[in-house]
Structure 1
Amino acid sequence: MTHKHHVAYLDSMRGLAAMAVISEHYVIAYGLPCQAQRCQQILDTPPFNFWWDGGAAVSMFFVLSGMVLSLKYFRSGLHPDLTHFNLLNYILARLSRLWPPYLAVLALSGLLYLKASDIPFDSIILPANAWLTEMWRANPLTPQQMISEAMLLKMPDNIILLPQAWTLTIELVLSLLLPLGLLLAERGIVWLLFFSGLAVTLLGVSPFLWHFLIGLMIAKHYTALTGYLGMKRWRRWLVLLIAIVFYTSGGLFQHLDIRESIVWASSGFGAALILLFASSSENTQAVLTHPILRQIGRVSYSAYLIHMLILLCVTPRILHWLEPILVGHLALWLGGYLMSVIVILGLSVIGYYFLEIPSISLGRRITNFKDWLKTNTVF
């Protein structure tokens, strides 16, 4: 199985996780597609809420990120190959990968914020709730707030323009800690657990560090784990069954007095098991490498960045246009959802080619120029 194939199916899983976050935000804004109480209870109960469980999808993001970023360093075995690793180049590449697209969408959000009062939240059949309608209108945006939201490494507590960006801050910080994680993984699991515990409890690093490190350990033991699960089909399906229970535990615990950290830990463990199942199943990988899923995975970062803009500024207009055409709550809900997703994915393709790829190229040019200066500078 080639490394290229690894990236393909893992990218698709990231895309599906992004779709779950988008679906959750649509559901929060406009409710579930059915109005009957029994139907809503079913769609709000695991595993039927799988498609819009954005909290579990966030856990998947962090486990997946740790795994994807670490895989290439464990190609030759259990010891990370850091022979050609350059810390400064890695940091510059990560900053270039995440920050410029974010700044571009943030700037666009600032411009659209000025027109927020013109958004027609006037659908009678499918009215938006206050979570969406007041997201911008109830929060004044000052230049200082705009600048603080541009600082992706340290975001304010109240994020106005792109509220989903709280995960990007954590993602950036954790990915910058990857080199240290690789060195600790070289020493052993005890070292990794000890220093990660210090980082979370004493240094204030996000508890999602545990999710990231689970992904790192999957990458380290990738060959052994996938080989063991690949030998017996029943092992894989048992892992998947357990994975679904843990991954959707947020829905199971929602009516119980369970600490949020336990819910996050549970969904993170489930996400890790799902990744192990997919990594050990060639049939699953064949499905995940379908061109449509690969394309969604490819543009998932742009989709994640822009989807709140669409839900805020475009979806209300879509519903406004569709209301005279589509009859009933369900038809309008589905029409608004499908058209919103189409718009998000369409704009994400543009974002991928005109924001993400240039940002990746910028990172390469910066590191190449730095290396050139180092080579040609005479002291």
Structure 2
Amino acid sequence: MANNNHVAYLDSIRGLAAMAVITEHYIIAYGLPCRDALCQRVLDMPPFNFWWDGGAAVSMFFVLSGMVLSLKYFRLGCHPDLQHFNLVNYTLNRLFRLWPPYLVVLGLSAALYLAATDVPFTDNALPPSSWLTDTWRANPLSATDMLREAVLLKLPENVVLLPQAWTLTIELALSLLLPVGLLLVERGAVWLVFFACLVVSLLGVSAFLLHFLLGLLIARNYRAIAGYFKTRVLRRRLLLLIGFALYTSGGLNQNSQMPESIVWAISGLGAGALLMFAVASTRLQALLSLPLLRQIGRVSYSAYLIHMLVLLCVTPRILHGMQAVTGNRSLLWLGGYGLSVAVVLLLSWACYYLLEVPSIALGRRTIGMFS
């Protein structure tokens, strides 16, 4: 691969996408930081919504996932090196990477769901929207319902304990299709596109498969993309502008009749273009490899898992305590957001080392038993 820090900068992109999702959920719960109508309208439109466009960030997750999972098979060029590929090992790796941490956080969420009856929602000077207050309170769950949410490969239609987990079930299912994608891309991109259209239209596989396979194609052409755009500065900048415009275009379609699938597809193309720009920009790679961004990227999965629990159980208490100091809405918003993010990152750091690292190690030991 072109350099030794590609994992660092790609992880950082994932971390920034996770932060965008967390920020969007905070904004859905507590609104934008300003009350002025013009200010809200500006912050709600591209490109100014870039920092909290969670929908675009989800598109980035899927394109990035296809790219990251595929990269190691294209070390020698544009043909996948499958000589040492082991389907059982790959499947176990993915299951242990995602499922055990999810189950632990789900169990914590279930315990808080049963115990968190005194969260100070209504007493806050910055009250949350019904989207947050009704997430648990308006969705009674039985023990059987909770157990259904543990089956990550087939979650129920209404996910309550960890509402954001709908993306994880798609991520796990799509990642298990990677071996098929690698075999087909060996025959050419046309075969890959035909396969994607076939399984999406006839078998009901998520349309996010197209995002995932776009990431695979970027991985396949990693060297060519880097070589082509590094020496063509104007084209590289144009790629950035086009990618940014497509990526943030969802904000323009909020009141349109455009099908949601088209909106997702456009933001996915934007995510792909931005990743191609990152592949060719050594300056951006150096920026994304800063220690703080690398750390956020490292714990991004845990942050994605844990952040709704913080918004539901911790943020209201933070705001409740802050209003004894100030009644200014903007200060409450900024303080609540900053402290909530700090709590999410702190807990994510703990979850990464206490859940993710042991889960990955357990997966390796399990694979060793089959070797």
Superposition TM-score tier, normalisation by shorter sequence: over 0.9
User: 1:54: which partner in 2?
Assistant: 54
Partner Cα distance (1:178, 1:101) in 2: 22
- Aligned residue runs from structure 1 range 1-16, under 5 A: 4-16=4-16
Quote how far apart the aligned CAs of 1:233 are.
Answer: 1.6
User: 1:282: which partner in 2?
Assistant: 282
Cα distance, 1:279–1:140 mapped onto 2, change above 3 Å: same
2:299 is the alignment partner of 1:299: yes
Kindly indicate whether the alpha-carbon contact (under 8 Å) linking 1:47 and 1:248 is maintained by their aligned counterparts in 2: yes
Partner Cα distance (1:327, 1:313) in 2: 21
User: 1:240: which partner in 2?
Assistant: 240
- Aligned residue runs from structure 1 range 31-70, under 5 A: 31-70=31-70
Q: Which stretch of structure 1 is more off in the superposition, 319-328 or 21-30?
A: 319-328
Q: Which stretch of structure 1 is more off in the superposition, 245-254 or 337-346?
A: 245-254
Partner Cα distance (2:363, 2:3) in 1: 22
Quote how far apart the aligned CAs of 1:326 are.
Answer: 2.6
CA RMSD in angstroms comes to: 0.9
- Aligned residue runs from structure 1 range 50-129, under 5 A: 50-129=50-129
Quote how far apart the aligned CAs of 1:193 are.
Answer: 1.1
Kindly indicate whether the alpha-carbon contact (under 8 Å) linking 1:242 and 1:270 is maintained by their aligned counterparts in 2: yes
Which runs of no fewer than 5 residues in structure 2 stay unpaired? none
Kindly indicate whether the alpha-carbon contact (under 8 Å) linking 2:211 and 2:268 is maintained by their aligned counterparts in 1: yes
2:148 is the alignment partner of 1:142: no
User: 1:225: which partner in 2?
Assistant: 225
Quote how far apart the aligned CAs of 1:255 are.
Answer: 2.0
1:231-281 Cα distance to aligned partner (Å, 9 max, x none):
122111110100111001110111211110110000000000110111100
Partner Cα distance (1:26, 1:314) in 2: 12
User: 1:206: which partner in 2?
Assistant: 206
- Aligned residue runs from structure 1 range 281-360, under 5 A: 281-360=281-360
Kindly indicate whether the alpha-carbon contact (under 8 Å) linking 1:116 and 1:136 is maintained by their aligned counterparts in 2: no
Partner Cα distance (2:211, 2:199) in 1: 14
Q: TM-score, normalised by structure 2?
A: 0.99
For these two proteins, the number of residue pairs brought into alignment is: 371
Kindly indicate whether the alpha-carbon contact (under 8 Å) linking 2:18 and 2:303 is maintained by their aligned counterparts in 1: yes
Kindly indicate whether the alpha-carbon contact (under 8 Å) linking 1:79 and 1:220 is maintained by their aligned counterparts in 2: yes
The percent of aligned pairs where both chains have the same amino acid is: 65
1:38-74 Cα distance to aligned partner (Å, 9 max, x none):
0000000000000000000000000000000000000
Which runs of no fewer than 5 residues in structure 1 stay unpaired? 372-379
Kindly indicate whether the alpha-carbon contact (under 8 Å) linking 2:106 and 2:162 is maintained by their aligned counterparts in 1: yes
Partner Cα distance (1:123, 1:284) in 2: 44
1:91-147 Cα distance to aligned partner (Å, 9 max, x none):
001000000000000000000001232111134421001100111011111111111
Quote how far apart the aligned CAs of 1:4 are.
Answer: 3.8
Kindly indicate whether the alpha-carbon contact (under 8 Å) linking 2:34 and 2:330 is maintained by their aligned counterparts in 1: yes
User: 1:256: which partner in 2?
Assistant: 256
1:186-205 Cα distance to aligned partner (Å, 9 max, x none):
01111111111111011111
Partner Cα distance (2:102, 2:36) in 1: 39
Partner Cα distance (1:110, 1:253) in 2: 36
The code of the aligned residue for 2:174 comes to L
**Structure 1 stretches (4+) deviating beyond 6 angstroms?**
none
The code of the aligned residue for 2:157 comes to D
Quote how far apart the aligned CAs of 1:353 are.
Answer: 0.2
